[in-house]
């Protein structure tokens, strides 16, 4: 398997160099690493010349993560692209586990391992629902879920658990991803965070990252995911996402940009033609209600702004 690594970066040189150290220890060595650097003071060849392992190439572009990814993919020589965020920590066996999976599942075009991130001092990869109130709010407003449903019986929660079990991993009528089935050695999902994913280059050329999104690319993985014939997630493989604070937007702005990206995809992508704009708007009202009643003022204000924007866009037929 010929793998090219594509790493977009912007003002995070230390994280890129740490990632190169990880890749140098990889059991399965990529054929090349392509850094697409939009930094104010970009990396120079002398900065990474001493690293063993695959050849490292650096491209220099404007700061726009979707355009950076597309530039790296276009320049890659491998048949598979390992699209990797610059603040990932990749264990040595990550790529080899994914490669072994493709030898047994030859029809796979996109796969990933679990992406662990820190929450309250613990590394987690999903957010299971254990609150019956939260479960009902998610159901009533058609909101996204990223974790199993493990509520105690009562308040009709057993019915909702059966409902989500029947539906499996899917995209809700509102457009949000609902991922509740994480069972088995590997599972398939229509949407996944592609920050540490292995995807065939021919598919990424067919489904480029949408460069009309904001320069941070919030929501860009959704736009690629929905065009793929399912993403296989191999549970034996995992990476650590360190969420570097540099160049990272605050949570309320991230939420707003994610809503704007989903609104854009609902209006422009044929894969989402079954999504209801009424259901989408209703889900945004639900998020506003949840943030407001939880006393999360900044999130509620941004949710209201997103709701107002989508209502205005719908009234103008755009």
Whether the pLDDT of residue 244 is over 80: the answer is no
For the chain, the straight-line distance linking the first and the last C-alpha, in angstroms and rounded, comes to 44
pLDDT score of 62 more than 80: yes
What's the confidence (pLDDT) of residue 49?
87
Integer CA distances (angstroms), 35 to 19, 83, 155, 170, 214, in order: 11, 11, 52, 33, 20
Q: What is the pLDDT of residue 53?
A: 82
Average pLDDT of the chain to the nearest whole number: 94
pLDDT, residue 315, reads 63
Residue 246 has pLDDT above 80, yes or no: no
Question: If DSSP codes are grouped into helix, strand and coil, which group holds residue 193?
Answer: coil
Q: What is the pLDDT of residues 111-160, one digit of tens each?
A: 999 999 988 889 999 999 999 999 999 999 999 999 999 887 777 788 99
Q: Residue 301 above 80 pLDDT?
A: yes
pLDDT tens digits for 195-238? 999 999 999 999 999 999 999 999 999 999 999 999 999 999 99
> Around Cβ 67, how many Cβ atoms within 10 Å?
20
The percent of residues in the chain predicted with pLDDT above 70, rounded, is: 98
* DSSP characters over 60-126: E--S-HHHHHHHHHHH--SSEEEEE-TTEE--TTHHHHHHHHHHH-TT--EEEEEEEEEETTEEES-
pLDDT at 268: 95
CATH classification code of 3-118+184-241: 3.90.550.10
| Residues 231, 7, 246: CA angle, nearest 5 degrees | 110
Q: What pLDDT sits at residue 316?
A: 62
Q: What is the pLDDT of residue 25?
A: 95
For 282, what's the count of Cα atoms within 13 Å in the CB-facing half-sphere?
A: 16
Distance from C-alpha of 35 to C-alpha of 43, rounded to nearest angstrom = 9
Give the pLDDT of residue 13.
Answer: 93
pLDDT at residue 318 above 60?
no
Residue 248 banded pLDDT, cuts 50, 70, 90: confident
**pLDDT of res. 116:** 96
Q: Give pLDDT, residue 192.
A: 97
**Residue 230 has what pLDDT?**
96
Is residue 55 very low, low, confident or very high in pLDDT (cuts 50, 70, 90)?
Answer: very high
pLDDT digits (tens, 9 = 90+) for 6-39: 999 999 999 999 999 999 999 999 999 999 999 9
CA–CA–CA angle 146, 287, 233 (5° rounding): 15
pLDDT (mean) for 275-294:
97
Collapsing DSSP states into helix, strand and coil, what is residue 210?
A: coil
pLDDT in tens, 290-299: 999 999 999 9
H helices of the chain, where? Answer: 13-24, 45-48, 65-75, 94-104, 132-141, 157-167, 201-206, 220-225, 251-268, 277-293, 297-315
Angle at 68 between CA 64 and CA 70, to 5 degrees: 125
Domain boundaries of the chain, sorted by first residue: 3-118+184-241, 127-179, 251-315
SS3 150: coil
User: E strand or H helix at 5, and its extent?
Assistant: strand 3-9
If you write DSSP's letter for every residue of 237-250 in order, what string do you get? Answer: EEEEE---STTPPP
pTM across the whole model: 0.94
């Amino acid at each position: 398997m010929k793998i090219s690594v594509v790493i977009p970066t912007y003002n995070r040189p230390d994280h890129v160099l740490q990632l190169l150290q990880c890749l140098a220890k990889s059991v399965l060595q990529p054929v090349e690493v392509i850094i697409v650097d939009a930094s104010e003071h970009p990396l120079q060849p002398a900065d990474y010349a001493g690293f063993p392992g695959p050849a490292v190439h650096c491209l220099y572009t404007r700061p726009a993560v979707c355009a950076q990814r597309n530039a790296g993919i276009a320049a890659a020589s491998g048949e598979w692209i390992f699209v990797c965020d610059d603040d990932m920590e990749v264990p040595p066996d990550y790529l080899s586990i994914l490669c072994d999976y493709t030898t047994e599942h030859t029809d796979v075009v996109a796969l990933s391992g679990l992406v662990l991130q820190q929450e309250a001092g613990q590394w987690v990869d999903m957010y299971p629902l254990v609150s019956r109130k939260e479960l009902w709010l998610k159901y009533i407003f058609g909101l996204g879920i990223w974790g199993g449903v493990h509520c105690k019986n009562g308040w009709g929660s057993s019915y909702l658990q059966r409902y989500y079990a029947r539906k499996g991993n899917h995209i809700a009528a509102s457009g949000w991803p609902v991922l509740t089935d994480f069972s088995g050695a590997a599972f398939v999902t229509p949407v996944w965070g592609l920050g540490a994913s292995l995807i065939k280059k021919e598919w990424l050329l067919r489904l480029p990252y949408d460069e009309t999104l904001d320069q941070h690319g919030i929501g860009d993985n959704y736009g690629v995911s929905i065009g793929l014939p399912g993403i296989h997630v191999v549970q034996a493989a995992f990476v650590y996402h360190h969420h570097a604070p540099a160049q990272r937007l605050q949570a309320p702005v991230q939420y707003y940009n994610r809503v704007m990206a989903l609104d854009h995809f609902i209006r422009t992508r044929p894969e989402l033609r079954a999504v209801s704009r009424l259901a989408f708007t209703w889900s945004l009202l639900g998020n506003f209600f949840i943030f407001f009643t939880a006393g999360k003022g900044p999130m509620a204000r941004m949710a209201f702004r997103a709701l107002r924007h989508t209502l205005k866009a719908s009234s103008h037929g755009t």
